[in-house]
């Protein structure tokens, strides 16, 4: 089988739960999948719906995306996927976080290129 999975640690986040101490930091993982010559990456982002303008910014080790659509009737999720597809020029899918502010996106293409495109879009 020609499938390979790589994991890259991109930062740290504090987990607050009953079984972990409050100051315990957990790694945020960005997964890069290679299957049959195609590479996809999963990216965790935070969204802020109903903003004045669309913008992308670095949020510590992750990304924060401000959306103009409200978080009702899936409008913000649709805007997120369409804008990310326009920025990267690749297929984007929402994997997790349909009703929350933390979302996991699957983006086709090489991780370095996708991160570079996001960084360019995040510039003022």
Write down the pLDDT at residue 104.
Answer: 92
Indicate the pairing of strand 55-59 with strand 4-14. Answer: unpaired
Residue pLDDT, tens place only, 24-69: 444 444 555 565 567 888 899 999 999 999 999 988 878 999 999 9
The secondary structure of 50-118 as a DSSP string is: S-SS-EEEEETTEEEEE-SS-SSTTHHHHHHHHHHHHHHSS-EEEEE-SSSSEEEEEEES-HHHHHHHH
**Distance between CA 87 and CA 81 in Å, rounded?**
10
Residue pLDDT, tens place only, 60-119: 878 999 999 999 999 999 999 999 999 999 999 999 999 999 999 999 988 889 889 999
Identify the structural domains of the chain with CATH numbers, from first to last: 4-121 (3.30.1200.10)
Coil, strand or helix at 119: helix
| Residue 1 binned pLDDT confidence (cut-offs 50, 70, 90) | very low
Residue pLDDT, tens place only, 5-31: 444 444 444 433 344 444 444 444 455
Long-range contacts made by residues 21-29, C-beta under 8 angstroms, separation at least 24? 28/61, 28/62
Whether the CA torsion 104, 38, 5, 88 is positive or negative: it is negative
Write down the pLDDT at residue 35.
Answer: 58
């Amino acid at each position: 089988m020609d499938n390979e999975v790589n994991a890259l640690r991109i930062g740290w986040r504090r987990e607050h739960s009953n079984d972990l101490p409050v100051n315990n930091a957990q790694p945020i993982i960005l997964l890069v999948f290679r299957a049959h010559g195609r590479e996809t990456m999963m990216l965790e982002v935070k969204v802020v719906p109903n903003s004045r303008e669309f913008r992308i910014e670095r949020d510590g080790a992750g990304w924060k995306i401000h959306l103009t659509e409200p978080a009702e009737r899936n409008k913000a999720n649709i805007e997120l996927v369409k804008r990310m597809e326009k920025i990267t020029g690749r297929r984007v899918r929402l994997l997790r976080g349909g009703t929350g502010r933390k979302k996991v996106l699957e983006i086709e293409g090489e991780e370095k290129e996708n991160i570079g495109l996001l960084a360019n879009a995040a510039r003022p």
